[in-house]
Chains A and B, each alone.
Chain A
Amino acid sequence: QKEVEQNSGPLSVPEGAIASLNCTYSDRVSQSFFWYRQYSGKSPELIMSIYSNGDKEDGRFTAQLNKASQYVSLLIRDSQPSDSATYLCAVKVEKLTFGTGTRLTIIP
């Protein structure tokens, strides 16, 4: 079983809609969770971190964490073409472990 799992996509979402990205993890002792955005040919950019159960909002982004279900998600409201990228879920126990990423395409 992979430590961090994401649907690789591609996920296509119309402009202005909500994009929903999901991630599950296997290690129950994980304490910190991150979402990175990576444009093609560029480095990962941290967009959200979450440590406690529930929702955390930052602008158009909302991260959701459910430790009981070992599930973390990222919602992007009012999706824009500039949101088209690969989104990496990362979970930290001793080190940061990345999922394989979900490729998101926003369709104008």
Chain B
Amino acid sequence: DTEVTQTPKHLVMGMTNKKSLKCEQHMGHRAMYWYKQKAKKPPELMFVYSYEKLSINESVPSRFSPECPNSSLLNLHLHALQPEDSALYLCASSQGPPPGLYEQYFGPGTRLTVT
């Protein structure tokens, strides 16, 4: 089973709102990822958690705040977003962390619209 789940599927928020995206995997994977994908572009890495610790932050603005409460859960807290942050936010997981030769599996994504 290679299932990664994400909630909510869709989210509309104003620029002053605070919201959170959630991701869960029960594959025993030890690395989890957040990606952002704009229309007709490839996914862009935002954060990597390895063994529940933040290992990579791709210079993401502080209005995005990741959290890994345990090895199965990953959250992305959103605050004071801009309309240009509207995108598909993808969570992924892999058996081990980079740079290991592990396959990454993506969740279905959260379609975020910032108004």
Tell me the complex Cα distance, A49–B45, Å.
19
Interface residue stretch chosen among A14-22, A53-61, A87-95: A87-95
**Closest Cβ neighbor of B56 among chain A residues:** A95
Knowing A95-B45, A100-B41, say if A43 contacts B108 (CB, 8 Å).
Answer: yes
Count A interface residues, CB 8 Å.
21
Does A42 interact with chain B (Cβ within 8 Å)? yes
Knowing A96-B45, A96-B104, A101-B42, say if A43 contacts B88 (CB, 8 Å).
Answer: yes
Q: Could you name 15 residue pairs across A and B whose Cβ atoms are closer than 8 Å?
A: A31-B99, A32-B102, A34-B103, A43-B108, A44-B90, A46-B103, A46-B104, A51-B101, A88-B43, A92-B99, A93-B99, A94-B99, A95-B98, A96-B45, A101-B42
